[in-house]
Amino acid sequence: MISAMIVDGQVAPTHDNVGKPPFTVLDPTHVQDGQVAGIQAKRRKPYGQMASGAVIVAIAALFIWSQAANENLDWSSVGEFMFHPVIFKGIAVTLELSVFSMLISVVLAFGVALMCQSRNRLAAIVGRVYVWFFRGVPLLVQILIWFNLAVLFPKILGADTNQLISGFTAGLCALSLAESGYMAEIIRGGILSVSKGQTDAGLSIGLTRGQALRRIVLPQTIRVIIPPTGNQFIGLLKASSLVSAIGGSDLLTQTQLIYGQNFKIVPLLIVATVWYLILVSVASIGQYFLEQKFNPDGAAAGGSFRELIRRNLLLRNRSDLSRKAAQP
């Protein structure tokens, strides 16, 4: 088969696919008598994509225009309450709920994941039941149970339960426990992603099982669990709005308090929507940079397995030398 090519309208030498001498491809605009014009390939224009894109843009523009001119939305109220102090107070509570719940859930989930991987049958069963229960019960149900905990326990440590469990506290407990069930499976999956042979290799150089977990397994686990953890935090940001069912003072609760007074429901919900999108966008950017920091090719990813073994051997040798130096 013979290939042909025209570069910038000029004659270009080419070769066929069997190693024959090059021949000349002629510019089709300057073909002389008795010569055959070269074939100029052109990419097909994506008319279907262009048409569908134009339709989508047109529909979006019509929707935006119709709502921008909709007097019922009262856009002036949206601008009025976008930076209202009450809204900022709700944003602060939403961030507190999300961050604290995520931190608590990660700590709980790490312990539960280790229990699920434990050789102790009882610990493994308890860990799996924990995950089963808190992943199975809907989050809103857990929030309501925690808020009405006084029905089950009127007093906790001698104090009135209703005084201890506020809307914020109930939401924090429910979000933390519900999220820990999901995070436990994420962490367990990250631990399983590291081959058992690496732990055995760590044990063979004198590390304890705990040291092998800290120095070999966990550094490689982090880069596996970071992406799903970021997704879980973004989901937690949005799930924190369920705390409004018990008046948890979050962003949606504060929004409801305002439109409960002025009855401007949709404009205030637009305000809440915009702020949730801003929070999620910022969290997504943070997730991106975390993934870049802990990517497998980066130094922060824990390095290769060979590098981990080398570092641990050095630490082992240093500890042996220190022990010998301390002996009389």
The pLDDT of residue 282:
94
- Which residue in 280, 286, 279 sits closest to 88, CA to CA? 279
CA distance 247 to 56: 40
Q: How far apart are CA 279 and CA 291, in angstroms?
A: 18
Q: What is the predicted pLDDT for the residue at 103?
A: 96
pTM: 0.71
CA distance 209 to 116: 16
The pLDDT of residue 300 is above 80: no
The angle formed by the CA atoms of residues 33, 38 and 42, to the nearest 5 degrees, is 140
The pLDDT confidence band at residue 281, using thresholds 50, 70 and 90, is: very high
| pLDDT at site 121 | 92
Query: Residue 173: its pLDDT value, please?
Result: 95
Least confident of 33-42, 50-59, 101-110, 309-318: 33-42
pLDDT given at position 84: 93
Distances (CA, A) of 122 to 125, 130, 220, 289, 320: 5, 12, 28, 40, 37
Confidence (pLDDT) at 1? 46
pLDDT digits (tens, 9 = 90+) for 301-320: 444 556 656 666 666 666 66
**Which stretch, 37-41, 90-94, 207-211, has highest mean pLDDT?**
90-94
In this prediction, residues 270-295 reach a mean pLDDT of 89
3-state secondary structure of 70: coil
Which residues lie below 8 Å from residue 265, measured CB to CB, with a gap of 6+? 259
Q: For residue 166, which phi and psi values (nearest 5 degrees)?
A: -90, 180
Question: pLDDT tens digits for 85-111?
Answer: 999 999 999 999 999 999 999 999 999
Q: Are strands 12-14 and 159-160 parallel, antiparallel or unpaired?
A: unpaired
Confidence check: pLDDT of 7 > 70? no
3-state secondary structure of 71: helix
Span 189-218, average pLDDT: 80
Look up residue 25 and give its two tokens. Answer: 């491809």
